[in-house]
């Protein structure tokens, strides 16, 4: 959808975003994108409070892990510690993923002559109830403050997905020359005509050994780009040896390369440059959709299998328009095998056979997602209406 970025009114210019890193990188990954999009696309003055600068510095290497206050571009980054300082309250306050604002800050919000707009940014889900809860107000008892629930999502009745204003144009401009330059910047060989290039970002996954075996047996050459952490550990375990310095591990049709942790913008390019992406969690899952490449998602496992319904809800939406139904079923089987230790060998072979059609579908899907607007723009519009 082509729209102008919503303008922030002068009296809504200052935004505080609060982020607690529960585990992994998704919390800070989403908050960092939102902070940048609000600042760069909408001109907001953003102050980002983060309790774990070490995780943050992985995806943004210019972050100093021991600074209490620092700037990255126009964004002020503050270390969030228990002894919260006395600061001016912003006009818009984003509490990411119910991270619980400091009590002293909430008191200061309540003392403001005009109450700030208080947003609780929720986790992403494709489930139907999200549309009913999006934008709901939750007034605080004995207070002038009201918290609003803001749900990212896949339909126009949700908050949409994080997406930079220029993202689709940049993605479209990423041609084979840009791709070759990207591979060379990683020290990875250029492409050969007959290989399938796959990125792997996953949690510990019991289906992975079988998938590696399937890839190693062909019939096509697979060049696997393995991200640090659980993916690298499992690949090394399967090969029975460590990556030899910067060199690959090889067996049969499979060649695996270990990647360093990439800055977030380079991670996005990795997803653009691969033929298929295995992603996880929330933020890389969204980026795989904007990358418009076939992808396989490992959902973040939750207690009591709550994630089963979330996975199905997404598959129902994502596959609704993929025809014929047998192709949609092939994608579903592969994803379910990957998440629930099913027959990933057969699942992969079916998925790979339908790859070109799934890729075409990914482009249609991305333009459909674009109809929901993007999260930062939708937030600015919502806040302006308050």
Residue nearest to ligand TRH (CB): 26
282 near ligand TRH, judged by CB under 6 A: yes
Q: How far is the CB of 23 from ligand TRH (least distance, A)?
A: 5
294 near ligand TRH, judged by CB under 6 A: no
Residue closer to ligand TRH by CB (options 140, 307) is 307
40 near ligand TRH, judged by CB under 6 A: no
Q: x/- contact string, 239-268, with ligand TRH (CB under 6 A)? A: ----------------------xx-x--x-
| Residue positions annotated with a catalytic role | 27, 282
The Cα 126–Cα 134 span in angstroms is: 12
Residue closer to ligand TRH by CB (options 58, 140) is 58
Residue closer to ligand TRH by CB (options 228, 345) is 228
Q: How far is the CB of 170 from ligand TRH (least distance, A)?
A: 16
Query: For residue 219, is the peptide bond before it cis, meaning its omega torsion is within 30 degrees of 0?
Result: yes
The Cα 107–Cα 104 span in angstroms is: 5
25 near ligand TRH, judged by CB under 6 A: yes
Cβ contact 72:62 at 8 Å = yes
27 near ligand TRH, judged by CB under 6 A: yes
Residue 219: how many other CB atoms lie within 10 Å? 7
Q: How far is the CB of 286 from ligand TRH (least distance, A)?
A: 8
How many residues line the site for ligand TRH (CB under 6 A)? 22
Cβ contact 8:42 at 8 Å = yes
Candidate ranges 70-78, 137-145, 279-287, 358-366; the one touching ligand TRH (CB under 6 A)? 279-287
362 near ligand TRH, judged by CB under 6 A: no
Token look-up 């596959």 returns 319
Q: How far is the CB of 324 from ligand TRH (least distance, A)?
A: 31
Residue closer to ligand TRH by CB (options 243, 261) is 261
Cβ contact 147:154 at 8 Å = no
Beta strands in the chain, from DSSP E residues, in sequence order: 14-19, 45-50, 69-72, 75-79, 92-96, 117-121, 137-139, 146-150, 195-200, 221-226, 249-251, 254-258, 276-280, 295-298
Residue 329: how many other CB atoms lie within 10 Å? 13
Q: Which of 281, 294, 347, 362 binds ligand TRH (CB under 6 A)?
A: 281
Cα Rg of the chain, angstroms: 22
How do 146-150 and 137-139 pair as beta strands?
antiparallel
The Cα 65–Cα 236 span in angstroms is: 30
29 near ligand TRH, judged by CB under 6 A: yes
Q: Crossing angle, helix 264-273 and helix 26-42, to 10 degrees?
A: 100
Cβ contact 33:284 at 8 Å = no
Q: Which of 120, 188, 205, 227 binds ligand TRH (CB under 6 A)?
A: 227
Residue closer to ligand TRH by CB (options 40, 282) is 282
Q: x/- contact string, 116-145, with ligand TRH (CB under 6 A)? A: -------x----------------------
How do 69-72 and 75-79 pair as beta strands?
antiparallel
Q: How far is the CB of 261 from ligand TRH (least distance, A)?
A: 4
Candidate ranges 22-30, 106-114, 185-193, 310-318; the one touching ligand TRH (CB under 6 A)? 22-30
Q: How far is the CB of 252 from ligand TRH (least distance, A)?
A: 26
> Distance of CA 100 to CAs 30, 81, 144, 379, Å?
17, 13, 18, 20
> Distance of CA 249 to CAs 196, 207, 236, 237, 257, Å?
16, 19, 8, 11, 7
23 near ligand TRH, judged by CB under 6 A: yes
Q: Which of 12, 31, 34, 59 binds ligand TRH (CB under 6 A)?
A: 59
Binding site residues, ligand TRH, CB under 6 A: 22-27, 29, 59, 123, 201, 227, 261-262, 264, 267, 280-285, 300
């Amino acid at each position: 959808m082509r729209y102008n970025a919503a303008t922030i009114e002068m009296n809504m210019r200052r935004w505080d975003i609060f982020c607690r890193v529960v585990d992994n990188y998704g919390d800070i990954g989403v908050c960092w994108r939102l902070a940048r999009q609000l600042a760069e696309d909408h001109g907001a003055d953003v102050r980002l409070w983060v309790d774990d600068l070490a995780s943050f510095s992985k995806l943004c290497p210019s972050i100093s892990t021991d600074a209490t206050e620092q700037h990255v571009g126009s964004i002020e980054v503050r270390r969030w510690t228990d002894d919260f300082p006395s600061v001016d309250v912003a006009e818009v306050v984003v509490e990411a993923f119910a991270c619980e604002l400091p009590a002293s800050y909430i008191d200061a919000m309540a003392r403001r002559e005009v109450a700030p707009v208080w947003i609780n940014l929720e986790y992403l889900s494709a489930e139907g109830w999200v549309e009913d809860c999006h934008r709901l107000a939750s007034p605080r008892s004995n207070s002038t403050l009201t918290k609003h629930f803001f749900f990212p999502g896949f339909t126009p009745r949700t908050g949409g997905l994080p997406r930079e204003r220029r993202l689709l144009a940049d993605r479209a401009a990423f041609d084979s020359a840009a791709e070759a330059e990207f591979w060379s910047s990683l020290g990875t060989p250029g492409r050969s005509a007959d290989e399938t290039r796959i990125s792997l970002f996953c949690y510990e996954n019991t289906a992975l050994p079988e998938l590696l075996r399937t890839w190693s047996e062909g019939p096509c050459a697979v060049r696997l780009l393995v991200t640090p952490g659980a993916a690298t550990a499992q690949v090394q375990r399967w090969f029975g040896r460590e990556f030899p310095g910067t060199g690959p591990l090889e067996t049969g049709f499979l060649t695996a390369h270990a990647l360093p942790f990439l800055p977030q913008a380079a991670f996005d390019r990795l997803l653009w440059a691969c033929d298929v992406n295995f992603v996880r969690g929330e933020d890389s899952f969204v980026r795989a959709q904007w990358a418009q490449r076939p992808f396989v998602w490992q959902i973040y496992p939750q207690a009591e299998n709550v994630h089963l319904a979330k996975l199905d809800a997404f598959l129902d939406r994502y596959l609704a328009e993929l025809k014929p139904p047998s192709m949609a079923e092939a994608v579903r089987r592969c994803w379910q095998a990957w998440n629930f230790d099913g027959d990933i060998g057969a699942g992969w072979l079916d998925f790979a056979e339908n790859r070109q059609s799934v890729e075409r579908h990914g482009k249609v899907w991305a333009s459909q997602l674009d109809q929901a607007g993007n999260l930062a723009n939708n937030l600015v519009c919502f806040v302006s209406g308050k």
